[in-house]
Amino acid sequence: MDAIRLANLTKKYGPVLAVENLSLAVPAGSMFGFLGPNGSGKSTTIGCMTGLLDPSAGEIELLGERFTANHSDLKRRIGVMPENLGLFEPLYAHEFLSFIGRMFGLDEATTRTRVGELLQALELTDSSKTLSEYSTGMRKRVAFAASVIHSPEILFLDEPFESIDPAGVALMKQWLRRFTEQGRTVFITSHVLETVERLCTRAAIVTRPGKLVWQGDISTFPIQYDGREFPALEPLFLHLTGERYADLKWL
């Protein structure tokens, strides 16, 4: 079964085409890497799949159901860590996570237990600071905690590891691997191709504006494409998206 299906998804911001006719299928239980250059529509696609943005055209199916931004039952079954984190800055971490847990329909006792466990595991026990006073990596950890607190069936993570220290990244990867072993699905964007190569089983590569140029299995290399053999994800990505050279005389 596919956990995610996109059929001709298109998103325009006014006249700006950000995602163009994107069709994609993500099997349930996969750790799926969604890759592409800056401005290629990755965050926009995640926004459309999680109800943060309205698509201009096309269809989104999650867990076998047609997804729209007002499908609240389906929204409770997914989790998202958006690019801009979506934190409520004036709150303390425990207040924010408790609010999110309750919003997702967890009862008070379960919320309290999970907030405590998440804060402990993610080393966010400094309760003297509000989210606006936290460091960048700490804020990122809170956003990650908020995306998993309700044990979603699909997790959308937009650049989740950026700014997180190595021990934090190792812990997150451990949780994500267990998550997919249980048959749940992770959809992840990252520019760190070594991480994607080690973590993900499948990937899709998009170019501007949100156009799919490749998707496939990345659990084994080399990959054959265009009559060539690619020993790793990076050369394949550069081949598809264009390698750039610029020689600045003064640099």
Ligand X SMILES: Nc1ncnc2c1ncn2[C@@H]1O[C@H](COP(=O)(O)OP(=O)(O)OP(=O)(O)O)[C@@H](O)[C@H]1O
Which does residue 36 bind out of ligand X, Mg ion, none, counting CB within 5 to 8 angstroms by kind?
Answer: ligand X
Stretch that binds ligand X, among 10-18, 57-65, 90-98, 218-226 (CB under 6 A): 10-18
Instruction: Mark 136-175 with x for binding to ligand X (rule: CB under 6 A) and - for no binding.
Output: ----------------------------------------
Minimum CB separation of residue 158 from Mg ion in Å reads: 6
Is 40 among the residues that bind ligand X (CB under 6 A)?
A: yes
Minimum CB separation of residue 44 from ligand X in Å reads: 3
Q: 85 to 144, contacts with ligand X by CB under 6 A?
A: none
Is 35 among the residues that bind ligand X (CB under 6 A)?
A: no
Q: 58 to 87, contacts with Mg ion by CB under 5 A?
A: 83
Minimum CB separation of residue 39 from ligand X in Å reads: 4
Which residue in 154, 169, 145 sits closest to 96, CA to CA?
Answer: 145
Which residue in 186, 188, 184 sits closest to 153, CA to CA?
Answer: 184
Cβ–Cβ under 8 Å, residues 158 and 83: yes
Which does residue 137 bind out of Mg ion, ligand X, none, counting CB within 5 to 8 angstroms by kind?
Answer: none
Which residue in 98, 79, 96 sits closest to 150, CA to CA?
Answer: 79
Distance in angstroms (rounded) separating the CA atoms of residues 235 and 251: 26
Type of residue found at 12: K
Which does residue 38 bind out of ligand X, Mg ion, none, counting CB within 5 to 8 angstroms by kind?
Answer: ligand X
Q: 192 to 251, contacts with ligand X by CB under 6 A?
A: none
Q: Which is nearer to ligand X, 170 or 238 (CB)?
A: 238
Counting other chains too, the contacts that 217-221 makes at CB distance below 8 Å and 24 or more residues apart are: 218/33, 221/197
Work out the number of other CB atoms within 10 angstroms of the CB of residue 96: 21
The token pair at 234 is 């990076």
- What CA–CA distances, in Å, run from 40 to 53, 84, 85, 211, 232? 16, 17, 19, 8, 21
Q: Please report which helix (H) or strand (E) contains residue 113, including its range.
A: helix 108-121
Is 43 among the residues that bind ligand X (CB under 6 A)?
A: yes
18, 62, 87, 115: residue in contact with ligand X (rule CB under 6 A) = 18
Stretch that binds ligand X, among 35-43, 58-66, 74-82, 100-108 (CB under 6 A): 35-43
Stretch that binds ligand X, among 32-40, 66-74, 194-202, 240-248 (CB under 6 A): 32-40
Work out the number of other CB atoms within 10 angstroms of the CB of residue 170: 10
